[in-house]
């Protein structure tokens, strides 16, 4: 076997230069400009719907506007206008309201009120997967019980009636408004029907609110009650509630 010649180590000191001949770049950590540029980039990437000229953002409740004060002034104004537009179109044009909600969420996704409003608009437009994401985020941030009925509705719409009933059962209903309580009843009854628990659905919807004819929820509640009675084989009892 051939022997390799042994050579002593060089006493030449090592260079402190990096192995690559390319000069190292110094990183800049200018936080505020980067945040602003990032926001502008995200907004450009997201095609925002037009806001009607008559909407100023002042239409929002004071408590909502107050929560937007943590944003940069220009961004707060834009978010306020999108939320006001969302409210304006929610009943008449749910799709447009949905896109205003997504625009607001895109700009101010760290604010619970923004995610909540965006989620409600998504529910109205039937985008239940998006709504569930928005509403869960809002609930994690604020813990508001008023969000839970909407989360339950999303779970039911996405094919999880048992999960929806579990959520509904965890809510302290005395912390909900009359409208929220009625919506929760309607969602719970729909879950019962999907699970074949038709009589339980009727019981869920039997409430004093059925007799309030001029309430905003009136028609929806009566329609749900008629559907529950019919599913339970009690069509005769359902007829008087038709309108």
Tell me the two tokens of residue 188: 């719970």
The DSSP output letter for 37 is H
Rg (CA), the chain: 28
45-49, 147-151, 190-194: segment of lowest average pLDDT: 45-49
CATH class of 45-143: mainly alpha
Q: What is the dotted CATH code of the domain comprising 144-243?
A: 1.25.40
The DSSP output letter for 143 is -
d(CA 36, CA 58): 24
pLDDT value at 4 more than 90: no
Query: What are the backbone angles phi and psi of residue 171, rounded to the nearest 5°?
Result: -90, 135
User: Which among 149, 127, 134, 165 is positioned nearest to 217, based on CA atoms?
Assistant: 149
Q: What angle do CA 163, 166, 168 make, to 5 degrees?
A: 110
- Domains 45-143 and 144-243 fall in the same CATH topology: yes
Tell me the two tokens of residue 208: 């004093």
Give the pLDDT score at 36: 60
Summarize pLDDT for 128-169 with one digit per residue, the tens: 999 999 999 999 999 999 999 999 999 999 999 999 999 999
d(CA 75, CA 110): 13
Residue 39: CB partners within 8 Å, gap ≥ 6? 72, 75, 107
Domain layout of the chain by residue ranges: 45-143, 144-243
Would you say 142 and 117 are in contact if contact means Cβ atoms under 8 Å apart?
Answer: no
């Amino acid at each position: 076997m051939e022997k390799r010649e042994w050579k002593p180590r060089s006493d030449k000191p090592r260079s402190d230069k990096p192995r690559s001949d390319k000069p190292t770049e110094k990183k800049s950590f200018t936080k505020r400009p980067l945040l602003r540029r990032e926001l502008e980039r995200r907004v450009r990437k997201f095609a925002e719907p037009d806001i009607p000229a008559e909407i100023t953002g002042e239409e929002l409740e004071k408590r909502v506007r107050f929560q937007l004060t943590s944003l940069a002034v220009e961004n707060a104004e834009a978010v306020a206008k999108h939320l006001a537009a969302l409210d304006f179109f929610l009943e008449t044009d749910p799709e447009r309201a949905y896109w205003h909600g997504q625009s607001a969420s895109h700009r101010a996704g760290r604010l619970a009120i923004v995610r909540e409003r965006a989620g409600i608009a998504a529910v109205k437009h039937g985008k239940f997967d998006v709504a569930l994401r928005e509403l869960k985020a809002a609930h994690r941030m604020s813990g508001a019980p008023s969000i839970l009925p909407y989360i339950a509705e999303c779970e039911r719409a996405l094919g999880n009636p048992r999960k929806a009933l579990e959520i509904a059962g965890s809510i302290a209903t005395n912390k909900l408004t009359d409208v929220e309580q009625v919506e929760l009843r309607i969602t719970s009854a729909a879950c019962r029907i999907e699970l074949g628990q038709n009589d339980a659905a009727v019981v869920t919807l039997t409430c004093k609110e059925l007799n309030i004819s001029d309430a905003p929820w009136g028609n929806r509640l009566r329609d749900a009650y008629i559907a529950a009675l019919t599913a339970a084989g009690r069509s005769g009892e359902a007829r008087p509630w038709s309108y």
